[in-house]
Structure 1
Amino acid sequence: MVYDVKDAAPWENGDHNGFEAGQELTEEIKNISPHGVSKFKDLPVVGKLAE
């Protein structure tokens, strides 16, 4: 999924904990982030990546 993080305070200035918005971060969010995808449930979905 592609999420819109522009209004998410943790992603102010387009980065969060060393990760840059606009990048493919699926593995990082699943494997490195302490909260996983749970924080994304309230963010707007703006697209879906195709394989």
Structure 2
Amino acid sequence: MGKFKLMSADEVAEYSLESLKSNKVICIPGYRKRMIAKLISILPKSFYYKMLEKY
């Protein structure tokens, strides 16, 4: 898939089960996706909503 390596279903399931064992409520598998989630959480909501309107 181009530049991005996708996680297999087995990798996602394994990561999810490990998170569940650690009592984590939210589980975001994949380094890039975690970084995007953190970035979104610190953006001003107005900027975030404007970005969503474009897509």
Bin for the TM-score computed over the shorter chain: under 0.3
The structure carrying a bigger helix percent of its residues is 2
Relative to the length of structure 2, the TM-score reads: 0.21
Higher relative contact order structure (alpha carbons within 8 Å, sequence separation ≥ 6):
1
